[in-house]
């Protein structure tokens, strides 16, 4: 058996990464960003229980409204709903969908780098990407790596089209690029890889023209979804949150104010410190050599635009670095391949992978379960009907709503001390409070209430008019 050939095949490493993430794939969502996963699972469950119209994405944190909210195109939620039709509501389908698509995306990334640069660079950068932040988020029920991977697969098909010139390949590429951007518009920096092909003078102008037209066609549904349909949904269903910020100056002020957290996304969250050092080395060498200067500047400028586009969210949420990690993995791999000794390069690659993987083990495998949440629905069912709206003291985390299988309000403790606000939600059909004892005491509740029931962890309270 030729072990060197096996270890040099990215498919081997992708299969290893896939298998590692099958462990605990059906565990309840107590890992990081469980609040966002709870929202996603709620959307999938509401497709099953309320309305399967994919254009009407419904959340549990809805107050007394319909729960229909503007958002990214909920494809991952809808595919999960289709699984639910067969399996019932489970944790593993959503994760498995993301894991499968993310694995395909990493393979496509490898093919892109291999076609444009070299086999060695493709292998190193793909292995770094596999065990980067993409390792843990590639199994979470979130659309970030899902979207980026679909987009990379579409761009990979552009590479294939340039080689084989099959129109069907280009059509499929257009569809996947459009879906990738629809499912998360923040994946757009990855289109820089397409720009490499379009600006490559060695490629036939006719083929580049077809790819450009395909990109324009792919973007049309994205523009309609985010700039026509989403505002329409927001107006129809009185949803106040602004999904896409356009005040660049305000975004810049926010980024400067939280500059430490912004930098942390790069030097820690992407793939930790050793990998970041070689990313810096790779960027430095590419600028010094000048042959990759234009590509480097294109990636940097696109990344800056993206960070400005994301604004405070980039500083606040770890997952906003995800679309930039493929570029960082490429830079780190470029730094590794600049070393004279391939053995040293492989040794450092192993260090990068080990450091990044070890820092994600606790999140992927050792997340501490909250057993009280697993029995919450049964406890609440004893006292409230499934249709009863409740207010929870869970902050912005909608876990209590999801695990109790209820709709209503996810509020901060301070909201319960605001008598006027409580009167407003009372008029909006809120009659009950589901109170988590670990989050606060009943003294924080301003309006009169009656204790309906309690256990070791929760109160069920009825508001007294």
pLDDT (tens place) for every residue of the chain, 465 residues total: 688 888 999 999 999 999 999 999 999 999 888 999 999 999 999 999 999 999 999 999 988 889 999 999 999 999 999 999 999 999 999 999 999 999 999 999 999 999 988 999 999 999 999 999 999 999 999 999 999 999 999 999 999 999 999 999 999 999 999 999 999 999 999 999 999 888 888 889 999 999 999 999 999 999 999 999 999 998 888 655 555 555 667 777 778 888 899 999 999 999 999 999 999 999 999 888 876 777 788 888 888 889 988 888 888 899 999 999 999 999 999 999 999 899 999 999 999 999 999 999 988 888 877 889 999 999 999 999 999 999 999 998 999 999 999 999 999 999 998 888 888 898 888 999 999 999 999 988 887 889 999 999 999 999 986
**Same domain, residue pair 293 and 335:** yes
- Residues with Cβ within 8 Å of 240's Cβ and at least 6 positions away in sequence, in order, are 234
**Same domain, residue pair 302 and 414:** no
Contact 136, 363 (CB under 8 A): yes
Structure tokens that stand for 82 in this block: 């289709």
Last residue of some domain: 343, 365, 387? 365
**Same domain, residue pair 355 and 383:** no
Contact 17, 130 (CB under 8 A): yes
Last residue of some domain: 309, 332, 365? 365
**Same domain, residue pair 356 and 399:** no
**Same domain, residue pair 87 and 109:** yes
So what's the pLDDT on residue 352? 97
**Same domain, residue pair 331 and 456:** no
**Same domain, residue pair 346 and 380:** no
**Same domain, residue pair 357 and 376:** no
Distances (CA, A) of 363 to 21, 31, 42, 389: 11, 5, 22, 32
Structure tokens that stand for 179 in this block: 């879906």
**Same domain, residue pair 358 and 417:** no
- Residues with Cβ within 8 Å of 399's Cβ and at least 6 positions away in sequence, in order, are 29, 34, 35, 38, 373
Alpha carbon distance 144, 359 (integer Å): 20
Alpha carbon distance 155, 177 (integer Å): 7
Last residue of some domain: 350, 365, 380? 365
Give the 3-state DSSP-derived string for 28-46, with helices as H, strands as E and coil as C. CCCCCCHHHHHHHHHHHHH
Q: Using alpha carbons, select from 134, 141, 146 the residue that is nearest to residue 90.
A: 141
Residue written as token pair 């793939």:
271
Contact 431, 423 (CB under 8 A): no
Range of 376's domain? 371-463
**Same domain, residue pair 75 and 10:** yes
**Same domain, residue pair 311 and 194:** yes
**Same domain, residue pair 339 and 398:** no
| Structural domains counted in the chain | 2
Q: Using alpha carbons, select from 461, 441, 464 the residue that is nearest to residue 451.
A: 461
């Amino acid at each position: 058996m030729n072990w060197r050939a096996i270890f040099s095949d990215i498919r081997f490493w992708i299969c290893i990464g896939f298998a590692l993430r099958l462990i605990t794939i059906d565990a309840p969502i107590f890992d990081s960003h469980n609040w966002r996963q709870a929202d996603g699972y709620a959307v999938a469950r509401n497709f099953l229980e309320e309305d399967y119209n994919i254009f009407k994405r419904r959340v549990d944190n809805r107050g007394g409204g319909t729960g229909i909210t503007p958002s990214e195109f909920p494809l991952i939620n809808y595919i999960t709903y289709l699984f639910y039709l067969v399996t019932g509501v489970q944790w593993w389908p959503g994760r498995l969908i993301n894991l499968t698509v993310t694995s395909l995306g990493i393979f496509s990334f490898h093919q892109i780098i291999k076609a444009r640069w070299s086999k060695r660079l493709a292998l190193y950068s793909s292995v770094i990407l596999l065990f980067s932040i993409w390792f843990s988020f590639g199994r979470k029920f979130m659309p970030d790596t899902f979207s980026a991977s679909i987009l990379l697969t579409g761009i990979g098909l552009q590479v294939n089209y340039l080689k084989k010139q099959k129109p069907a390949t280009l059509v499929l590429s257009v569809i996947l690029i459009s879906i990738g951007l629809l499912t998360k518009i923040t994946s757009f920096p990855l289109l820089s890889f397409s720009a490499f092909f379009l600006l490559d003078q060695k490629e036939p102008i006719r083929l580049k023209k077809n790819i450009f037209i395909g990109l324009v066609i792919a973007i049309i549904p994205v523009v309609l979804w985010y700039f026509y349909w989403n505002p329409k949904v927001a107006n129809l269903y009185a949803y106040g949150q602004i999904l896409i910020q356009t005040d660049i100056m305000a975004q810049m002020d926010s980024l400067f104010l939280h500059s430490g957290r912004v930098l942390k996304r790069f030097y820690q969250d992407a793939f930790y410190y050793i990998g970041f050092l070689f990313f810096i080395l790779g960027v430095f060498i590419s600028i010094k050599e000048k042959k990759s200067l234009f590509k480097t500047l294109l990636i940097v400028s696109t990344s800056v635009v993206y960070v400005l586009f994301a604004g405070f969210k980039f500083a606040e949420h770890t997952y906003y670095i995800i679309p930039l990690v493929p570029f960082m993995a490429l830079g780190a791999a470029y730094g590794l391949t600049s070393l004279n000794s391939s053995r040293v390069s492989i040794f450092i690659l192993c260090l990068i992978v080990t450091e990044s993987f070890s820092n994600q083990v606790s999140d992927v495998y050792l997340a501490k379960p909250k057993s009280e949440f697993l029995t919450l629905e049964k406890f609440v069912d004893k006292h409230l009907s499934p249709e009863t709206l409740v207010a929870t003291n869970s902050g912005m985390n909608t876990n209590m709503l999801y695990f109790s299988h209820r709709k209503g309000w996810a509020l901060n403790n301070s909201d319960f001390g605001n008598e006027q606000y409580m009167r407003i939600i009372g008029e909006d059909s809120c009659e009950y409070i589901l109170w988590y004892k670990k989050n606060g005491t009943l003294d924080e509740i301003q309006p009169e209430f009656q204790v309906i029931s309690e256990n070791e962890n929760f109160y069920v309270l009825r508001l007294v008019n």
